[in-house]
Each structure stands twice: as structure tokens, then as C-alpha cells.
Structure 1
Amino acid sequence: MSNDDTPCFEFIDEYIRKLDGLEHENWLLNCVQNKSVIVNKKSYIFNVWIEDIAQGKLLVVEVRRKSLISETSFSKGILFDGRRYKKLTQEEIWDIGIS
């Protein structure tokens, strides 16, 4: 992780902290689609959505930045397997096939 990534992951971690203790049935109330946000003086698109996957329900929190030649995306998530919640890193989300 580079120093440029840190503010994006901190933004995501803060949003996930706000969801701690929230039942998965209420996740839908916290979904966001294509909201413009400023992170470390840069403009990003903020998305929060739910994926139904084999392991359960996955809430994905993402910030994305597009330029003319590239796109950069940062994400983390929370997995609810029917019994417990587990926070997932960006790499774990990629391993599932999301983002």
C-alpha cells in the first residue's frame, strides 16, 4: 500500500466503523451509488452495495477515481455468513471475484 492509498482506506475504514453493530438487514439503508466525495483533496466516486455470494451477504465499500488513462479503485467489505460478521480486505474481496 502506498502513501497515496492510505487516505482512501482510512475513509473506507471510517465508513465501516459506522456500520459496526448494524444488523445485516439494515445494510440496504446505507448503500450509496456514485456519490462524489473528496478524500485527501482529490475527487472520488463513492459506492456501497450488497452482493449475495455463496458464503453469505457481502457489503462492499468502494472509492474509485477515474482519469483519462486509468482507473483506481479501493475497497473493503463486511461478510455476514448467517452467524457472524467478518471484515474483508480489498485482496479478500478480489479473491471472491468482486471489483
Structure 2
Amino acid sequence: MTILAKQRKQPGETLDYDIAYSGSDLPSGDTIVSASATRVCLTDPTDTALDIMSVTFTAKRSKVWLADGTSGKRYKVTVVATSAAGRVFEDEFTIDVRED
């Protein structure tokens, strides 16, 4: 998949980000049964300050809670969700962390 969105947060914020699955991607009757997330800092691969607090899912949605991060850094978050029928979705978004 491509980058779904470009997001922004401050280092002290804890925020949630949703990914919805529908239409031809997830046909009627199929549901999400697992989800996980990873992150990498695009501007400094050694930076691990952006915390994935939790990943949850419902039948048609994944939710990732993120906290912290280093101001001035850009991170890519990859969410992998699997459906009951065996479909595997890999979605990505970026987070720019900036202290305002």
C-alpha cells in the first residue's frame, strides 16, 4: 500500500490514528482478526523515541496509539492487519514530530 496520510504531533502528545477497511478491500462477511504496528524514524534510523502504546482492532478498523517522539524527526508507522479470510493489509502513514 501507499502512504495513507501525513500526520503531525507534538512530543508530549498521546494520540490515536485509525485505519478503516471497507469496500472491495474487505468484502461483506470478512472481518479483521489481528493487527500490529511497527515504526521507523526516517530522518534518523537509530531514533526509537516514538512509542507505539497499543494497537487495537474491530471488525472493520485498526487503531494505533502513539506517544512521545523526538521533535524535528519524521517517523513511518506501518500497520499490518489480517482478516478472517486470510487477507493481509499493510498500510503506512508518516508522523512529523514538532514542538510548537
**TM-score normalised to the size of structure 2?**
0.34
Quick check: which one's strand share is greater?
2
Higher-Rg member (1/2) = 2
**TM-score normalised to the size of structure 1?**
0.34
Quick check: which one's helix share is greater?
1
